[in-house]
Amino acid sequence: MSLLVVGSVAFDAVETPFGKREKMLGGSATHFSLSASFFTDVRVVGVVGSDFGAEEIAVFKRHEVNTDDLERVPEGKTFFWRGRYDYDLNTAHTLDTQLNVFADFKPKLSAESKKSPFVFLGNIQPDLQREVREQMQDAKLVALDTMNLWIDIARESLVKTIEGVDILIINDAEARQLAEEPNLIRAARKILAWGPKALVVKRGEYGAAMFAGDSYFAIPAYPLESVFDPTGAGDTFAGGFMGYLAGSGATDEAAMRRAMIFGSVMASFNVEEFGTERVQRLTYDEINNRFRSFKQMTHFEEIPFERNARVRQ
């Protein structure tokens, strides 16, 4: 089934202790769509400037991502972000943000996009996310991402938007901030009470967790010796997660648990190189081999415990 993503398409400049890039393809919708494209048909809704050329469009085309709804603003400049990571790769230090054409972004959905049964609302202003959601009345599953900025300045609108989606995908700090609860379990319970049937919490190098109803599911991150750039890892995770669900057509909890593994697999490839470089070269064999390794890594045999009957003296 087709999957629609609405979000940012951007250029990034990143420096980590392991190298730097002055200009690379980035943005939430970019990382998400390239990741999801390995599992299903993807349509991207976003906006770019005239500096976004044929080379960048070719990346989407190679992965068969539909860009019919990618708006181009003549004489405009594409959203640009510059950041730095120190040895704590969980924390990004923003050095420069130029919204450019993204500042006036109003998602425009074609008739075909409105038919997409699976929808991911990337990290954009909550009012815009809600406007898109209201146009997708027949959607089978809608997921949403957000960030601390919107929690700070548009919390009421964000909560209203969350009430209308099926899955919220955010990191652990954002979950606590959003729910105004220091304990993640209580934060999850409060967020789920607003309407979503599942909360997926991204925990960086510590893995991910999912809360759904009364159930809880957690997985570790895939162990890697080399991590070069975590930029876009969360969106790549979301792309693998939603891509698998859309590709399988299943939305039950068992499917979401499998989807979390695929999300983590895709994120693990993303951080091995800068930006989208590694994901662009991925093969299905690599994805399936890492999925099997992940399954083996987290498998254990259930053996009932029997207390030693010997009487202690």
Give tens-digit pLDDT for 236-295. Answer: 999 999 999 999 999 999 999 999 999 999 999 999 999 999 999 999 999 999 999 998
pLDDT at residue 226 is higher than 80: yes
Say how many domains are in the chain.
1
CATH number at residue 20: 3.40.1190.20
Domain range for 52 is 3-298
| 205, part of any domain | yes
Cα–Cα distance for residue pair 264/29, rounded to 1 Å: 17
Percent of the chain topping pLDDT 70 = 97
B/e letters for 145-183, b = 16+ CB within 10 Å, e = fewer, are bbbeebbeebeebbbebbebbbbbbbbbbbbbbbbebee
| 249, part of any domain | yes
Q: Specify the pTM.
A: 0.94
pLDDT at residue 87 is higher than 50: yes
- pLDDT band at residue 225 under the 50/70/90 scheme: confident
What mean pLDDT comes out for the span 20-38? 97
What mean pLDDT comes out for the span 166-179? 96
What mean pLDDT comes out for the span 28-38? 98
- pLDDT band at residue 310 under the 50/70/90 scheme: low
| 134, part of any domain | yes
What is the reported pLDDT for 94? 93
| 313, part of any domain | no
Averaged pLDDT of the chain:
94
What is the reported pLDDT for 275? 95
Helix axes 28-36, 54-62, angle to 10 degrees: 30
| 117, part of any domain | yes
Residues with Cβ within 8 Å of residue 228, at least 6 apart in sequence:
16, 18, 19, 271, 272, 273, 274
pLDDT at residue 305 is higher than 80: no
pLDDT at residue 309 is higher than 60: no
* Residue 30 burial (10 A CB sphere; 0-12, 13-18, 19+): buried
pLDDT at residue 312 is higher than 70: no
Residues with Cβ within 8 Å of residue 308, at least 6 apart in sequence:
none
What is the reported pLDDT for 313? 47
pLDDT at residue 228 is higher than 60: yes
Structure tokens that stand for 132 in this block:
């898109």
Cα–Cα distance for residue pair 140/144, rounded to 1 Å: 14
What is the reported pLDDT for 204? 86
What is the reported pLDDT for 205? 85
Query: Is the model more confident about 137 or about 78?
Result: 78
- pLDDT band at residue 308 under the 50/70/90 scheme: low
| 308, part of any domain | no
Judge whether 228 and 89 are in contact, CB under 8 Å. Answer: no
Give tens-digit pLDDT for 94-124. Answer: 999 999 999 999 999 999 999 999 999 999 9
- Only one residue has tokens 């919490």, namely 201
| 148, part of any domain | yes
| 83, part of any domain | yes
Percent of the chain topping pLDDT 90 = 88
